[in-house]
Amino acid sequence: MRIAIPLTQGRLASHFGHCEEFALVDVDKERNCIRMSDALAPPAHQPGVLPAWLAKQGAALVIAGGMGQRAQELFRTHGIDVIVGAPAWDADALVTAYLNGTLEAGDNVCGH
């Protein structure tokens, strides 16, 4: 399974569409561990571009701080699940908490 996390300065970006890079983290859900991680610069932010791009990267889940409803719907149409309201941690901490079932999502910090 591949998890995509938008990062700014090494931590979860508060606004999904304006991140500096995406951590793409491959996990083994059966063994509950991170297999590998990579970081990629996203394409220019345009409505609908990131869901298609992350689908091409093989993402099955996005962990985000904030994301608009339309973007969430676009991810679902690409078969990608979304968790919003995650804390501003680094990618490894977020993925580890997700794998351990301890990731607590709060309020979606994006109002559009």
pLDDT score at 18: 81
pLDDT score at 111: 53
Domain 2-100 CATH (choose: 3.40.50.720, 3.40.710.10, 3.30.420.40, 3.30.420.130)? 3.30.420.130
| Distance in angstroms between the alpha carbons of the first and the last residue of the chain | 29
pLDDT score at 15: 77
Per-residue pLDDT of the chain (112 residues; tens, 9 = 90+): 999 999 999 999 987 888 999 999 999 999 999 999 999 999 987 888 999 999 999 999 999 998 888 989 999 999 999 999 999 999 999 999 999 999 998 877 665 5
**Domains of the chain by residue range:** 2-100
In sequence order, the 6+-apart residues with CB closer than 8 A to the CB of 50 are 16, 17, 42, 43, 71
Measured in whole angstroms, the distance separating CA 4 from the mean position of its chain's CA atoms is: 4
pLDDT score at 110: 61
Q: DSSP letter for 42, please.
A: P
Tell me whether residue 102 is exposed, middle or buried, using C-beta atoms within 10 angstroms of its C-beta: 0 to 12, 13 to 18, 19 or more: exposed
Residue 34 Cα distances to 25, 72, 93, angstroms: 7, 25, 11
pLDDT score at 107: 73
